[in-house]
Structure 1
Amino acid sequence: MSNTLLIILLAFAAAALIAFVMFSRRRTPSTTAPQENLPPAPVAEQLIPLGQRRIVNESEHQIPRRHLDDNAMKVVYRLQDAGFEGYLVGGCIRDLLLGHTPKDFDIATSAHPEEAEELFRRGRLIGRRFKLLHVRFGREVIEVATFRASHDQEETTQDQARTAATGMILRDNVYGTIEEDALRRDFTINALYYDVRDHTVLDFANGYPDLKQRQLRMIGDARERYREDPVRMLRAARFAAKLGFEVEPGTAAPIRELAALLGNVSPARLFDEVLKLLQSGHGEASYRQLQRFGLFAFLFPQTDAALEHDEYPVETLLINALCNTDRRLSQGKSVTPAFLFAALLWYPLQLRIKQLEQISDLPPIPLLHEAANQVLAEQVRSTAIPRRFSTPVREIWELQLRLPRRQGKKADQLMEHPRFRAAYDLLVLRENSGEPLQGLSQWWTDYQSSNPMTRRDMVPADQDDKPRRKRRRRPRNRPTQDSRPSNE
């Protein structure tokens, strides 16, 4: 009897142990579970004073270690082995927390740029306004930045920091601590640091709760931060479009008022920002954010002015071009800024041609060239267009005049042009946007997919294809014996 009772008690104990283990597994989150499965805690309970350290453990943030870049980890470990602090920081951590694949990995360190450069044989210092170290691993570049601090420090020298009368920072090489560095960053969701030693995320600006709430918030006074760097207004539009986040009211409010400060930014830098906005796979959403905040007019003033002309489907073509670019990028296809600028400036070009027609009697092609020169010259005052892109833009525009001329062998010759495909794509977008082209784009679509025999029937014969009569040359009047010059 005692043996039977003992067996029953052991069975109950085993069942209780199994139930406890199963309950514990359900309570313990997996380190590889998707972030979306974690219900966010109320934001009010998570807010901390700016500059205070919040530590988010791996069991909570659940960033899989296998998603960390090996080369970036090598750089961090090298910095730490040399006695410096080193963290993965910024957009890469933000994207990992959102379940996205980071485009690149950045590192923040306590080492000054010159100190960090000595540690890496493949490192190179770049920048004057903002010194950075680039460490190259084949085609991959890891960017290393020193912790920055506020310009208000008494020991700050003119060489370390310089600010324009508008408040724009011209030089930012004031170094500080990780806490100071976090508060010098733009948005709270970009002020998150990953510590590779214990795999925790450090948050000094309430970026983690803002990320949970899908909210874009500027660190500090938004008006002052935009004056320091007007490009932050473009970044606000870009992150709102890319991430689908809502811009916090205090962050959004000053943008329209301060949008004109973009005029103080170099056109070369704005060209890079335009590519990030419109050629990163979220161009259509970025355009709508730019219009929402009144920023588009300072990037493409001629296109913005053309929107007022009802005779052209300006915005329809613009949105179709951006959607086409987004679709190509989602399919892994290549895109070129030349096509984007050709589409964005196509109707400003048409308006300029009309103006020149009233004061000039140039033929169509020379007239287009002159209008193109003027439109591009005006555009580069806002955003630079490198020559390697401006030349193809001109060729794409010129082909728009040549594509209707399909007689004889001209169609086949046009198809051999290096810009034909881009010009054809623009032609299709123009007609799909409502421009009356009498089915020209469909003709070219059919022509490309037809065999040589069918193509021959699709084009009318050109007089140039008919055999020409050979013109008889008149014999030269050879000098007679008497008329030849004498050597005597």
Structure 2
Amino acid sequence: MSQLQTQSIEPTIVPRDRHVISRSRISDHALKVLYRLKTAGYGAYLVGGGVRDLSLNRDPKDFDVATDATPEQVKALFRNCRLIGRRFRLAHVHFGPEIIEVATFRALTPSDGEQNNDRVMEDGMILRDNVYGDIEEDALRRDFTVNALYYNIADFSIVDYAGGMADLEARQLRLIGEPEVRYREDPVRMLRAVRFAAKLDFVIDPATADPIPRMADLLADIPPARLFDEVLKLFMGGQGAQTIDALRHYGLFRYLFPATDSALDDDPSGARLAFVKQALANTDARINDGRPVTPAFLFAALLWPAIMAQLPGEQLAPGIDPELLEQAVTEALERQLRRVAIPKRFSLPMREIWSLQPRLDTRSQSKARRLFGHPRFRAAYDFLLLRAEAGLADPALAQWWTEFQASSDDAPPPAPPRRRRRNRSR
């Protein structure tokens, strides 16, 4: 895999009557892109997760297309096309809210450190790759065998160069090529292995899994903004509770949430881990029920053990000095942002959820009424329930707030205090 192939590989062709993919389950817009490319004389294939999920009788989240047309040639065919990306040049064909991503076949990555304006590598890591090849090379440079399946719109067959159909049948996740080389090319592939295994309920092939713990430190070289996107994919796909176990098992979690990982290791009672896993389980339930979730609440839960570890006595004591809590929050966030970027649109609500926790430690009706009108009250209350479930807060306090809300459902929140007008002398 790490060197250009000198001999062609004969692909397995699965004809239409031997697979389950039907055009009726493919997006109309994806079909439009495929057929227009085909009519213009180009190869046109549905590829990647769309083929994988359809083969497993799942509904794909999106549909990607691979072709031998260059991005500029794709753009010439579609007025609604935009070219994006420097690291990987792609064509995005826009149909209202749906975007069909069209990628030109990429060439294999050589091991001799070849570098030019279109391909840049450093210490084995791909920094830019816009060298185009054929479908065989494109298939063999993809990450996992089950993501290297091509649905050919010309005859409705599946083209398989890497044994992906057999791995789908075996429910196995296997890297294409030498795992250590592939992880060095892009360390995020280690996170993708964990994510796909959890999403598909697959077993990671031993040869694919074995190098991960000793290569996990390569994640330290990944930009924090990219890791933010990967964290959202890991924990907002509906399998977050299983995912965190796998991340910790392979030693990956410490490179995403270092302070949290230390706080979980230093907690003999296991209450902090129970809190995080319950938060993830609740998030999973909401996602799988089609209800909205916010990354702010998710990140607030993932970082809470790191904040607790900074507090006196490593707990949120009643009547705690707000400055101590603010200092712990600031230290935890600063350390976290060096690994995973968190946009302010999420970090600011997170701070509000945390700052409301000591204020919820009250059974005063008047104070409760004032808090009831806070825009982050509901999220902070849900956070308190999770803390109580995990043994990190008084269950009786959580019950008091539940009963208070039940008795106050019809009561409007308190009006804001009126500002006094000051008499002005002429």
Query: Which residue of the partner structure matches residue 304 of structure 2?
Result: 346
SS of 2:66 mapped into structure 1: strand
User: Structure 1: how far apart are the matches of 2:314 and 2:245?
Assistant: 32
Match in the other structure for 1:105: 63
What is the match of residue 369 of structure 1? 326
Q: 1:116 matched to which residue of 2?
A: 74
Alpha-carbon distance in structure 2 between the residues aligned to 1:416 and 1:155: 60
- Give the superposition deviation at 1:311: 5.9
Name which of 256, 267, 272 aligns with 1:309.
267
In 1: Cα distance, 2:371 partner to 2:61 partner: 38
What is the rounded CA distance, in whole Å, between the counterparts of 2:75 and 2:146 in structure 1?
A: 28
> Alpha-carbon deviation of 1:438?
4.7
Which residue of structure 2 aligns with residue 75 of structure 1?
A: 33
Deviation at 1:215, TM superposition (A): 0.7
1:91 partnered with 2:38: no
> What whole-Å deviation, never above 9, does each CA across 1:423-468 have from its counterpart, x for those lacking one?
111100110011241511111111111147999xxxxxxxxxxxxx
Specify which of 240, 244, 251 is matched with residue 287 of structure 1.
244
Where does structure 1 lack aligned partners over 5 or more consecutive residues?
A: 1-48, 456-488
2:91 to 118, 123, 133: 133
1:486 maps to: none
Instruction: From the superposition, tell whether residues 51 and 424 of structure 1 become closer, same or farther in structure 2 (CA, over 3 Å).
Output: farther
Q: In the alignment, which residue of structure 1 is the partner of 2:282?
A: 324
Q: Distance in 1 between matches of 2:61 and 2:24?
A: 15
Retained in 2: the 8 A contact 1:87–1:193? yes
Q: Deviations over 1:33-71 (max 9, x none)?
A: xxxxxxxxxxxxxxxx98321110111112122101110
Partner of 1:444: 401
Over aligned residues, Cα RMSD in angstroms? 2.3
What is the rounded CA distance, in whole Å, between the counterparts of 2:411 and 2:84 in structure 1? Answer: 58
Say whether 1:221 aligns with 2:178. Answer: yes
C-alpha distance in structure 1 between counterparts of 2:409 and 2:377, whole Å: 18
Q: Report the AA paired with residue 260 of structure 2.
A: T
Structure-1 residue corresponding to 2:9? 51
CA deviation digits over 1:156-207, x for unaligned, max 9? Answer: 6511111112x11000111000000000100000000001121111101110
Q: Distance in 2 between matches of 1:454 and 1:183?
A: 63
In structure 2, relative to structure 1, the CA distance for the partners of 1:51 and 1:401 (3 Å cut) is: farther
Match of 2:167 among 167, 189, 210: 210
Correspondence 1:274 to 2:231: yes
For 1:428, the equivalent position in structure 2 comes to 385
Identify the structure with bigger relative contact order (alpha carbons < 8 Å, sequence gap 6+): 2
Q: What SS class does the counterpart of residue 118 from structure 1 fall into?
A: helix
- Distance (whole Å) between structure 1 residues aligned to residue 51 and residue 409 of structure 2: 55
SS at match of 2:100: strand
**What does residue 265 of structure 1 align with?**
222
Contact kept in structure 2, 1:51 and 1:183, CA below 8 Å: no
8 Å CA contact 2:115, 2:121 repeated in 1 = no
1:437 & 1:264 partners in 2: Cα distance? 41
Give the 3-state SS of the residue equivalent to 1:142 in structure 2: strand
> In structure 2, do the counterparts of structure 1 residues 448 and 267 end up closer, same or farther at CA, with 3 Å as the change threshold?
same
Change (3 A) 1:453 1:100: closer
> Displacement, 1:134?
1.0
Specify the alignment match of 1:387 in structure 2: 344
Question: Any conservation in 1 of the 2:363–2:400 contact (CA below 8 Å)?
Answer: no
Greater C-alpha radius of gyration = 1
Does structure 1 conserve the Cα–Cα contact (< 8 Å) formed by 2:20 and 2:54?
A: no
1:392-433 per-position Cα deviation (integer Å, ceiling 9, x unaligned): 000000010111134242212212211111111110011001
Q: Aligned partners of 1:71, 1:454: CA distance in 2, in Å?
A: 49
Query: Aligned partner of 2:14: which letter?
Result: V
Out of 180, 184, 201, which is 2:158 matched to? 201
CA contact (8 A) 1:113 1:131 kept: yes
SS at match of 1:63: coil
Verify the 8 A CA contact 2:389 2:395 in the aligned structure 1. no
CA distance in 2, matches of 1:146, 1:384: 30
Q: Structure 1 residue aligned with 2:104, among 146, 159, 182? A: 146
Q: Distance in 2 between matches of 1:386 and 1:264?
A: 20
Cα contact 1:50–1:183 (8 A) shared by 2 = no
Shift of 1:370: 2.1
1:342-372 deviation digits (Å, cap 9, x = unpaired)? 1111121122232999xxxx97222222221
Q: Given that residues 43 and 69 in structure 2 are in contact (C-alpha distance below 8 angstroms), is that contact kept between their aligned partners in structure 1?
A: yes
| Offset of residue 151 of structure 1 | 3.0
Match of 1:237 in 2: 194
> Which residue does 2:354 correspond to in 1?
397
1:63 matched to 2:21? The reply is: yes
Give the paired residue count: 403
State, as a whole percentage, how many aligned pairs show the same letter. 52
User: What SS does the corresponding residue of 1:136 show, helix, strand or coil?
Assistant: strand
CA distance 1:454–1:81, shift in 2 (3 Å): closer
Task: Give the SS at the match of 2:93.
Answer: strand
Which stretch has the larger CA shift, 194-203 or 155-164? Answer: 155-164
TM-score, normalised relative to structure 2: 0.90
SS in 1 for 2:127: strand
* C-alpha distance 375-454 of structure 1, shift in aligned 2 (>3 A): same
